[in-house]
Structure 1
Amino acid sequence: MMSYKAAALKYDKERSGAPTVVASGKGELAKRIIQKAQEFDVPIFANEALVNSLIDLEIDAQIPSELYQSVVEVFIWLMKNEKKFKER
């Protein structure tokens, strides 16, 4: 049986600091987070190791420095695919 996990991040370049966790959860909560993302055409990036680290953080917490590199990879992926996402 598949166990769902999800985390959503927000980065405000106007505000100094790291990206923050705006939603996270397991099971049914994770399914709802994913459904909401799909409803609003928010791109979904799958990385099991990263989500396992993010779901343990408090909501509105900045990501710790040890996750910077993994999160940078997500943002690079988003930027490379930005045109594709906007065309949906």
Structure 2
Amino acid sequence: MSLPDHVPRQAIALTYDGQQAPTLSAKGDDQLAEAILAIAREYEVPIYENAELVKLLARMELGDSIPEPLYRTIAEIIAFAWHLKGKFPAGQDPDAPPVERDITARY
């Protein structure tokens, strides 16, 4: 058994308005994936790489909301991306010390 010489690259983009669940706004393989990533870089959108998550989200249709089981995962990615850009939700103090909590616990 041999591995293929070329593993297709996939990319997805999500749109989030802060009110509704994030929606799939773009998806593509190979050249289209590279174009999606190029646009993200051009607009300084943080890029998060996770092949398994992309495979799951790429099954969706454009405009679909992310499935509920992925809410927490996507929320953490969006929060981290906001943090990287120096953005914080209204009412949050960016200078407050971090709060430790058990991330393995079910809420």
Normalised by the size of structure 1, how large is the TM-score?
Answer: 0.81
| CA-CA distance at 1:43 after TM superposition | 1.1
% identity of equivalent residues: 35
**CA–CA distance in structure 1, aligned partners of residues 29 and 69 of structure 2:** 22
**Which runs of no fewer than 5 residues in structure 1 stay unpaired?**
84-88
Cα offsets for 1:31-74 (capped at 9, x unmatched): 11111111121111111111111111111110010111220121
User: Does residue 7 in structure 1 map to residue 12 in structure 2?
Assistant: yes
> Does 2:11 correspond to 1:28?
no
Stretches of structure 2 lacking an aligned partner (at least 5 in a row): 1-5, 87-107
Q: Which has the larger radius of gyration?
A: 2
1:76 maps to a residue whose letter is: A
Count residues with an aligned counterpart: 82
Query: Displaced runs of 4+ in structure 1, greater than 3 A?
Result: none
More helix, by proportion: 1
Shift of 1:2: 4.3
CA distance in 2: counterparts of 1:32 and 1:51, whole angstroms: 16
Q: Could you tell me whether the CA contact under 8 Å between 1:50 and 1:70 is conserved in 2?
A: no
CA RMSD of aligned residues (A): 1.7
For CA contacts below 8 A with separation 6 or more, give which structure has more relative contact order.
Answer: 1
Q: Which secondary structure state, in structure 1, belongs to the residue aligned with residue 13 of structure 2?
A: strand
What's the counterpart of residue 71 of structure 2? 68
